[in-house]
Structure 1
Amino acid sequence: MKKMKHVVLLLTLISIALVISACGGASQDKGSENSKNTNTEPKSGGVLKVGLASNPNTLDPIKYTGAYESQIMRSVGDTLVVYNQDLSDFSPSLATEWTPSEDMKSYTFKLRDDVYFQPGKYQDGRKMTAEDVKYSLERSAKESALGRLDGVESVEVTGESEVIVHLTAPNASFLAMLTDVGNIIIPKEEVEGWGDQFGANLVGTGPFQFKNWQTDQKVELVRHDKYWGEKPYLDGVTYQIIKDPNMMTNALRSGDIDIATDIKGQNRQVIEQDQNLELLSEPGLAIDYLDLNNMSGPTADPKVREAIYKATNVEEIVKGVNQWGGGTVSYAPIPKGSWAYSEELEKLKPEYNPTEAKKILAETDYANGFKTELYVLESRVPYATIFQAQMKENLNIDVDIKVTEWGTLSDIAAKGKAPMYIGGWSWYPDPFFFLNKTFHSNQIGSLGNGKGYNNPEVDALLDKALSDTVEQGERAKLYQEAIKIIMSEYPRVELDNLDQTAAVTKHVQGFAVSADGTINIVKPNGTNVWLSN
């Protein structure tokens, strides 16, 4: 174990050195008032600059797979309904009201009649119609890369401002699914006109419209003057791509950005000690995990997966990566903030036991270890480095760490070509978004279940939790049964349950982190961010 301690210590020293180096030129003024305590009236004007840790791959609602893309898209497009600010209920957006049928197999939506698209190349900012809703939702239902509108059979236009969404079966998570930015309403002319390039030229009905995208640098949005909702205070929003976490912190301290995301490690402490900044960190609906390929390679053998899990000192990894706060050990494939979470689930996590792990591996064709590849984003290299050392020491498994961009990682993982990869999942409180999307066999071939997990019994439980009842307690029991089976088959290693964290300058007003990880700038639930100067 001395080797393990050396790895953790080395990572710590490197992190501290990088932060000190990156922040050496930052402002040291400590006299400004904290943004949370500013009591001035909202003012209009200014461009908000938000740092994102990875370059978006596409802004097409049916093709996007990552949070980095969704953060931009939610400022450009609107869904029919949205979550309220504490994620406890739904609020109107493009739909003013909705009514489910008695058999829960259809929903009737009344639509706003004052909604206009942003001007684009193939339409000049026309009024949104019920036909647009039909087109957008049916497109998502048929073509979404992550099945973001599974179970929608068709959308029927029943009036100028009314549609009925028909489901293949009752779906207790349907309204929550509709809030996903992958289900924003878009104009058919723009989609068909741009073809494969629509993802780089997104047009929607949201508070800001697309202006410019410089790959690996920034995406610029400007205010949509015909936005149907409360007028945005901001003139625009610029999302700046800053892949290095220490450079992200430095950019915030120097004023190059106003909001920094993905704040982890020593950077949390650096920000907390700067009186010009505020660290916003709340327990989140976010987990990190290490997916093991269930279809091919050594990890297709459940015994190999079991050995790897029991040879992984998760506590050491989590402590090493989150020693300045922001993350705790994950015991199950749903976050602690989900309403289906139970402390009983924590008993399912395998105990770290390298001796037993060696015995289990000895029962397989890989008793002497093997070579494999682990795909990660740059921000998750610390997880990978500690895991790599543990595997070599405990099981003689040589792990080659492959650091990739988000687009490459998501493509390789979704296609089942990654022997291992470290991923993160952040979504809504409903377990459907964590379990169905990452363990149901109908998601094989998508990012969530690129590992290829397939168990008919689990599928049946997940389906039943959607169609047989809307009662939360009953659904929770079904999901917990599914989790027990999943954990017994070791399809992946659960790592940590993360806080949702951002940091802001003193000038940012009206911004708060959300448990689901969304960056909300202007939203129909009452959010409207502004800059004090």
Structure 2
Amino acid sequence: MKKFKQYLFILVLITAVFAISACSSSDSKKGSDGQAANNEPKSGGTLNVGLSSNPNTLDPIKYTGAYESQIMRSIGNTLIVYNKDLSDFKPSLATEWKASDDLKSYTFKLREDVYFQPGKYQDGRQMTAEDVKYSLERSAKESALSRLSGVDSVEVTGKFEVTIHMPKPNASLLAMLTDPGNIIIPKEEVDGWGDQFGAHLVGTGPFQLKDWQTDQKVNLVRNDKYWGEKPYLDGVTFKIIKDPNMMTNALRSGDVDIATDIKGQNRKVIETDKNLTLLSKPGLSLTYLDLNNMSGPTADPKVREAIYKATNVEEIVKGVSQWGGASVSYAPLPKESWGYSKDLEKLKPQYDPKEAKKLLAETKYAKGFKTELYVLESRVPYATIFQNQMKENLNIDVDVKVTEWGTLSELAAKGNAPMYIGGWSWYPDPYFFLNKTFHSDQIGSLGNGKGYKNPEVDALLNKALTETVDQKERAALYQEAIKLIMKDYPRIEFDNLDQTAAISQNVQGFDIPADGSINIVNPNGTNVWLNK
């Protein structure tokens, strides 16, 4: 099989539509910021961005796909944004903010020079606190994915000041406010368009929607009344290219300037093209194997420990991601989260089949047992390698059950899956990874369908959410919680997936952050331009 894969790769390279010119790794890894340092920014041109899926709606409360958010980021603005490395927040429509002493409210002062893009039902009027109240309360009450959960109301405390009220403290509020689902929009346009507002989004961002050709492309043009730094580009066109090979060819032929969702052997094709740059870095995305903590053999902590120590995680990650794009995960928190510490990496159990057999021998399952592992089709490679390791190292017969998302999520949430392989992606705030997957109040949900419960962990997670907003203090609390979690072996950490994009040599000032967002012009200092 290995020789066949090598042959297939060589064949792909030989038959590629365009000739591949080999270059040194230093050339192929040259970043856009490094290129930009040698050139003065130029104005003009339209940036073409390839998206792998067709957007369904651009309505902030209705969107559910990351590809939709990529477009929305260029049309609208949130109150605050993350900085480039996602370690802290920066002003956007809000100039400053402050939490109350009890952490149940946040007050935001707003910019006074912000105007909406002209639309059918308003001519580009000034944005005020009333617009913020309308937009955020709409999200809190109607968001399809609860993108502003925990917010009770938004109070207008001045023409350019609002206070967000919550029934209980929630230190994750600021992270939620960066979501494109919470961009500020004009009520007139929503009321006027009704259900069609999602196809006619109006915001305060650097670009405005010009036209949308379903299944083909979305055209944006520069908003000349934009309150922030003037965009260098005249416009941005998002082209829908669902086939990954066509996406790569579109980049190499010049049909797009930025290609997204680059995976598998296409990574190598791009790396060996001197005219392209592959941008790939650890993202806020984890793959793991949940073990049922409530019933079956894995309800015994010693059995879970034996399984973890009999799992060669390095072999699994190398086998699944032979072309790159993933690294071994050491803890239930992505490396790019501000709560991560390299000290956590020593918590990962060492692969030790002999020790694993000894541990299992101390349980009533010394001779092994049969179990089921539920997976989506896309994660079968993980399951197959794990299955072989369990049989060889512990005589555990793992029956791999391939199922679709609806069935898997229901089984996992209800605790009916003995084992299942899942993935988790969210904001940099550890709350969205740890509270959602290990707090006992999440038992019965997809995040903690495994039924993990540890009162000490609950206490630490509650304290990090409700007693402080200081990131260093919260990070320390989360790291203490992780130490306890890892000692309980509730799941096996597999990998930390990369966020990836590829760009042509003409693209300057662009990078792919850990959350995978496509930022063209952003208050965090991003302003992409074309060197042609």
Q: TM-score, normalised by structure 2?
A: 0.80
What letter corresponds to residue 212 of structure 1 in structure 2?
W
CA distance in 2, matches of 1:219, 1:150: 30
Give CA deviations for 1:286-320 in whole Å, capped at 9, x if unaligned.
Answer: 23213538599979856686676455432112122
User: Is this contact kept in 2: 1:306–1:360, CA < 8 A?
Assistant: no
What RMSD in Å do the two structures reach over aligned CA positions? 4.1
What letter corresponds to residue 286 of structure 1 in structure 2?
L
The Cα shift of 1:521 comes to 0.6
- Cα distance change on mapping 1:219 and 1:385 into 2, 3 Å: farther
The Cα shift of 1:412 comes to 6.5
- Cα distance change on mapping 1:410 and 1:396 into 2, 3 Å: closer
The Cα shift of 1:132 comes to 1.8
Count how many residue pairs are aligned between Structure 1 and Structure 2: 517
- Cα distance change on mapping 1:275 and 1:427 into 2, 3 Å: same
The equivalent of 2:82 in structure 1 is: 83
Equivalent residue of 1:477, what SS? Answer: helix
The equivalent of 2:156 in structure 1 is: 157
The Cα shift of 1:111 comes to 1.4
CA distance in 2, matches of 1:307, 1:15: 38
Q: What are the equivalent positions in structure 2 for 1:241-390 lying under 5 Å apart? A: 241-282=240-281, 284-290=282-288, 292=290, 301=299, 309-352=308-351, 356=356, 359=360, 363=364, 368-375=369-376, 377=378, 382-383=381-382, 386-387=385-386, 390=389
CA distance in 2, matches of 1:202, 1:443: 35
User: Is this contact kept in 2: 1:15–1:266, CA < 8 A?
Assistant: no
- Cα distance change on mapping 1:507 and 1:448 into 2, 3 Å: farther
- Cα distance change on mapping 1:88 and 1:354 into 2, 3 Å: closer
The Cα shift of 1:374 comes to 0.8
The equivalent of 1:20 in structure 2 is: 13
The equivalent of 1:425 in structure 2 is: 425
User: Is this contact kept in 1: 2:117–2:124, CA < 8 A?
Assistant: yes
Equivalent residue of 1:152, what SS? Answer: coil
The equivalent of 2:50 in structure 1 is: 51
User: Is this contact kept in 1: 2:294–2:450, CA < 8 A?
Assistant: no
User: Is this contact kept in 1: 2:44–2:234, CA < 8 A?
Assistant: yes
Equivalent residue of 1:315, what SS? Answer: helix
The equivalent of 1:522 in structure 2 is: 521
Equivalent residue of 1:267, what SS? Answer: helix
Equivalent residue of 2:98, what SS? Answer: strand
CA distance in 2, matches of 1:281, 1:37: 17
- Cα distance change on mapping 1:153 and 1:352 into 2, 3 Å: same
- Cα distance change on mapping 1:14 and 1:381 into 2, 3 Å: farther
* 1:212 correspondence with 2:212: yes
The Cα shift of 1:257 comes to 2.0
User: Is this contact kept in 1: 2:294–2:451, CA < 8 A?
Assistant: no
Structure 2 unaligned residues grouped into runs of 5+: none
Identity percentage over the alignment? 66
CA distance in 1, matches of 2:150, 2:377: 32
User: Is this contact kept in 2: 1:131–1:157, CA < 8 A?
Assistant: yes
- Cα distance change on mapping 1:346 and 1:156 into 2, 3 Å: same
Q: What are the equivalent positions in structure 2 for 1:32-51 lying under 5 Å apart? A: 36-37=34-35, 39-51=38-50
CA distance in 1, matches of 2:65, 2:312: 28
* 1:109 correspondence with 2:103: no
User: Is this contact kept in 1: 2:81–2:89, CA < 8 A?
Assistant: yes
The Cα shift of 1:184 comes to 1.5
What letter corresponds to residue 425 of structure 2 in structure 1?
W
User: Is this contact kept in 2: 1:50–1:237, CA < 8 A?
Assistant: yes
The equivalent of 1:397 in structure 2 is: 398
Equivalent residue of 1:287, what SS? Answer: strand
The Cα shift of 1:488 comes to 4.4
- Cα distance change on mapping 1:124 and 1:523 into 2, 3 Å: same
The Cα shift of 1:157 comes to 0.3
The Cα shift of 1:80 comes to 0.6
The equivalent of 1:3 in structure 2 is: none
- Cα distance change on mapping 1:115 and 1:64 into 2, 3 Å: same
The equivalent of 2:233 in structure 1 is: 234
User: Is this contact kept in 1: 2:129–2:160, CA < 8 A?
Assistant: yes
The Cα shift of 1:71 comes to 2.3
CA distance in 2, matches of 1:298, 1:191: 51
The Cα shift of 1:41 comes to 3.4
CA distance in 2, matches of 1:359, 1:412: 30
What letter corresponds to residue 427 of structure 1 in structure 2?
Y
User: Is this contact kept in 2: 1:65–1:447, CA < 8 A?
Assistant: no
What letter corresponds to residue 117 of structure 1 in structure 2?
F
CA distance in 1, matches of 2:507, 2:259: 11
Equivalent residue of 2:152, what SS? Answer: strand
Structure 1 unaligned residues grouped into runs of 5+: 1-5
CA distance in 1, matches of 2:315, 2:115: 52
Equivalent residue of 2:44, what SS? Answer: coil
User: Is this contact kept in 1: 2:292–2:415, CA < 8 A?
Assistant: no
Equivalent residue of 1:397, what SS? Answer: strand
CA distance in 1, matches of 2:189, 2:7: 48
Larger Rg belongs to = 2
The equivalent of 1:435 in structure 2 is: 434
The Cα shift of 1:397 comes to 1.9
Q: What are the equivalent positions in structure 2 for 1:401-412 lying under 5 Å apart? A: 401-402=402-403
Q: Out of 150-159 and 44-53, give the one that drifted further.
A: 44-53
CA distance in 1, matches of 2:223, 2:476: 45
Give CA deviations for 1:173-227 in whole Å, capped at 9, x if unaligned.
Answer: 4333322323221233444566666555543322233432634x54443433433
The equivalent of 2:460 in structure 1 is: 461
Q: What are the equivalent positions in structure 2 for 1:115-134 lying under 5 Å apart? A: 115-120=114-119, 123=122, 125-134=124-133
CA distance in 2, matches of 1:142, 1:232: 34
What letter corresponds to residue 43 of structure 2 in structure 1?
S
Give CA deviations for 1:25-51 in whole Å, capped at 9, x if unaligned.
Answer: 125468999764354433333332223
User: Is this contact kept in 1: 2:79–2:183, CA < 8 A?
Assistant: yes
The Cα shift of 1:500 comes to 3.6
Give CA deviations for 1:251-284 in whole Å, capped at 9, x if unaligned.
Answer: 32222321123334443333222110112234x3
The Cα shift of 1:529 comes to 1.0
- Cα distance change on mapping 1:219 and 1:411 into 2, 3 Å: farther
CA distance in 1, matches of 2:455, 2:142: 24
CA distance in 2, matches of 1:117, 1:410: 43
CA distance in 2, matches of 1:153, 1:161: 20
What letter corresponds to residue 501 of structure 1 in structure 2?
T
CA distance in 1, matches of 2:44, 2:297: 54
Q: Out of 501-510 and 353-362, give the one that drifted further.
A: 353-362
User: Is this contact kept in 1: 2:94–2:110, CA < 8 A?
Assistant: yes
CA distance in 2, matches of 1:237, 1:418: 47
Give CA deviations for 1:114-158 in whole Å, capped at 9, x if unaligned.
Answer: 333345565554432312211222233344455443443321101
The equivalent of 1:187 in structure 2 is: 186
Q: TM-score, normalised by structure 1?
A: 0.80
The Cα shift of 1:508 comes to 0.7
- Cα distance change on mapping 1:421 and 1:144 into 2, 3 Å: farther
CA distance in 1, matches of 2:320, 2:344: 23
